[in-house]
Copies of this chain bind each other. A is one copy, B any other.
Amino acid sequence: MARLIDEGKIQRIKLATIQLVVQNGYGGASISSIAKRAGVAEGYLYRFYSSKQELVTELLYSQVARIVGKLESLLNTCTSTREVMTQLIGELFRMGTETPEEIRFIYVLMHDYNFQVSDLQRQHIKGLIDKVISIGIANGELNSRISAEEAYGMVIIYPIEFINLRMKGFFGIKEWTTEEQNRVAEFSINALK
């Protein structure tokens, strides 16, 4: 073996990509700007990713996987919809405070018509949402006529929208309290009743 791959560089590339996609959108985040910010040669990115599209897609995939994975594990441990939703929304807010760029990144790309989540991931999400619904109905927590879209809307989309609305300071405020976080969870739970 010769030199070892510098994991720090890959990490810096990922971080720079996330930041620049958030800041300038996919089309506005150029390879050269990413490489410059990461402190890495331009061509170096192509050792790990065959194209810009692949780089961003893979990053989106893994970021989404974090949320989907959390939901999946919650469904294995929690017995009520309230618990699942409170915990998941807690995780989203945690991302919002600890790694704000990452939740912004998901937010930006999930609304980009170029970046559909993969079919597999989508099916996975659909299955998990169905499970949330069936637990909720069994417990009498959810209206029995709730659709997957409605549940998805309140479990995933609404909290992400709330967090990003705050980050943008759309209504003036840019931070949130634990109370407000709980209110988001309560609101989502309530909407599905």
Contact = CB atoms under 8 A, between A and B. Distances in A.
This chain's copy number in the assembly: 2
A111 B165 CA distance: 10
A161 B168 contact: no
Contact of A171 (B24, B148, B187): B148
A113 B19 CA distance: 11
Contact of A22 (B26, B113, B168): B113
Contact of A149 (B116, B152, B171): B171
Q: Which of under 10, 10 to 19, 20 to 34, or 35 or more describes the interface residues of A?
A: 35 or more
Contacts of A28: 26-27, 114
B158 A114 contact: no
Looking at chain A's contact residues, is the secondary structure mostly helix, strand, loop, or mixed? helix
A16 B30 CA distance: 24
Given A108-B111, A187-B150, A191-B191, A171 B126 contact: yes
A62 interface: no
Contacts of A158: 153, 157-158
A82 interface: no
Contact of A26 (B27, B126, B190): B27
Most B Cβ at <10 Å: residue of A22, A168, A191: A191
Interface of A: 22-29, 104, 107-108, 111-114, 116, 122, 126, 147-150, 152-154, 157-158, 161-162, 164-166, 168, 170-171, 183, 187, 190-191
